Amino acid sequence: MKEISENEWDELKSMVIDIRDKVSVLVSEKQKEFLTPREVCRDLHICRSTYRRHVEAGRLRQVRIGEKGSRVYVRRSDIENLKKDGKI
């Protein structure tokens, strides 16, 4: 078995840490209950105007959070249900 140098070990360790961090971000995004309009558009592969049409048609329900309802979100579960039902 070939031994690796300290530099190679440090490089491998750095790669593993980087991969762990990226996986952690992906897992946390999948567990996130509320999504921003941008995240919804990315998830559904739609543009912002299509997103607005879905909201106006009542297919996507927005939740306002924050001071004076300044932040808009959509529940992930609502999106998953619409996908499952074939409505989006």
How does pLDDT run across 21-78, given as a tens digit for each residue?
Answer: 877 766 566 667 889 999 999 989 999 999 999 999 999 999 998 777 778 999 999 8
Model confidence, pTM: 0.61
Task: In the chain, count H helices and then E strands.
Answer: 4, 3
3-class secondary structure, 72: strand
Q: For Cα atoms 34, 51, 64, give the angle at the middle one, nearest 5 degrees.
A: 40
3-class secondary structure, 88: coil
Q: 71: part of which helix (H) or strand (E)?
A: strand 71-75
